[in-house]
Structure 1
Amino acid sequence: MGRARDRRVRAMTNHTTDALVRELRDRTEIADALYRFGLGQDTKDRDLFASAFAADAELDFAPAASKWGAKPPLMVGRDAIVTTILALFTGRVDTTHQVTNVRIAIDGDTAHATALVEAQHLLTADHATHALLKNPYDVDLIRDGDRWVISRMSIDNTWYTGDPTAIFG
């Protein structure tokens, strides 16, 4: 009887360990989607940036932009998001994004995350023209094989300093 109990405990522990490893892997991949979003912009790496999004993703920057009177459209579709943002920044704006305070809730093959992102935007031709933003991100993600990708992202703004024309021109 002692051996049977030991086997049962080991099996339960292994199952619990497997579930924990899967959750930790999922959390790492979810955070990585946010990192791919930021670093893909900063390095102007189209493939890295695109890898952050689902094919039918939505990106809403209007909540942040409304703080300084801009009205960007809702961006729909990975290709539209990548093309729009990289065209807006490449050769015109140098950016850096720091993603912090990531909070994640996983429900099967979907997840919700929030994060704070500090985003620096400097005109390439004149770094004196810049905007520094602290933006809360609200993000829905889906599992895509072993990776997680953004299906919906809404970006708000807590504060900014500088000139937002460094972002939109």
Structure 2
Amino acid sequence: MAAIPSLPATLSPPLSGRDAVADALYRLILGLDSNDKDLFDSAITDDMAFTVNGKTTQGREAIHSELFGRIGKLDTTHHITNLRINILDGEKKASLTAIALAQHYNEGKGMAPEQPYLLIGSLYRIELVKGESDGQWRVEKFDMKTNWAQGEWSILLGN
């Protein structure tokens, strides 16, 4: 089945305030779920730190290798809710918290009956910066704490 194309990273009319901050998270997640590297990259800084349950991956190249390269090819959907956004430093920095449910299936197996899966419930804490040249919000620090999981961890771990 053909992929559904993503909207551009910069929407029209431009978003402002909390909507623009939330959009950085949405771009990151939708880029991951649709395996759209350009959309994913539009949401992160070059030196982003991504921490999952205390293990940190630092920098775009490492994140591509250890996160995007693994999860982007899976059949996934991440559902984000309960966003709370705090904009600071003259609207140049922001923080947000969110709750997420993420369903993971092996590549190409999401629609096949009786397939193993991994469903994860998590809390997110994210630090963002606003780009000076383009005004686009980007994630510079992403902390994820898994509260519970159901299913096969091997799907996510590549075992």
Is TM (by shorter chain) over 0.5? Answer: yes
Contact 1:57 1:150 in 2 (8 A): yes
The total of aligned residue pairs comes to: 136
Does residue 100 (structure 1) correspond to residue 87 (structure 2)? The answer is no
Which residue of 147, 156, 159 maps to 1:158?
147
Give the superposition deviation at 1:126.
4.4
For 1:119 and 1:62, how far apart are their aligned partners in 2?
15
> Per the alignment, in what secondary structure is the counterpart of residue 146 of structure 2?
coil
For 1:141 and 1:116, how far apart are their aligned partners in 2?
17
Normalising to structure 1: TM-score of the pair?
0.74
* Deviation sequence 1:42-78 (CA, Å, 0-9, x none): 1100100111111111001134xxxxxxxxx521112
Runs of 4+ in 1 over 6 A off after TM superposition: none
Contact 2:75 2:109 in 1 (8 A): no
Identity %: 32
Query: Which ranges in structure 2 are unaligned for 5 or more consecutive residues?
Result: 1-14
Root-mean-square deviation (CA, aligned residues, Å) is 1.7
For 1:125 and 1:165, how far apart are their aligned partners in 2?
16
More helix by share: 1
For 1:159 and 1:142, how far apart are their aligned partners in 2?
30
- 1:89 is matched with which residue? 71
- 1:78 is matched with which residue? 60
Contact 1:120 1:130 in 2 (8 A): yes
Which residue of 112, 115, 123 maps to 2:106?
123
Normalising to structure 2: TM-score of the pair?
0.78
- 1:33 is matched with which residue? 24
The verdict on how the C-alpha distance between 1:112 and 1:90 changes in structure 2, with shifts beyond 3 A counting, is closer
| Greater mean alpha carbon deviation, residues 82-91 or residues 50-59 | 82-91
Larger Rg: 1 or 2? 1
User: What letter is aligned with 1:110?
Assistant: K
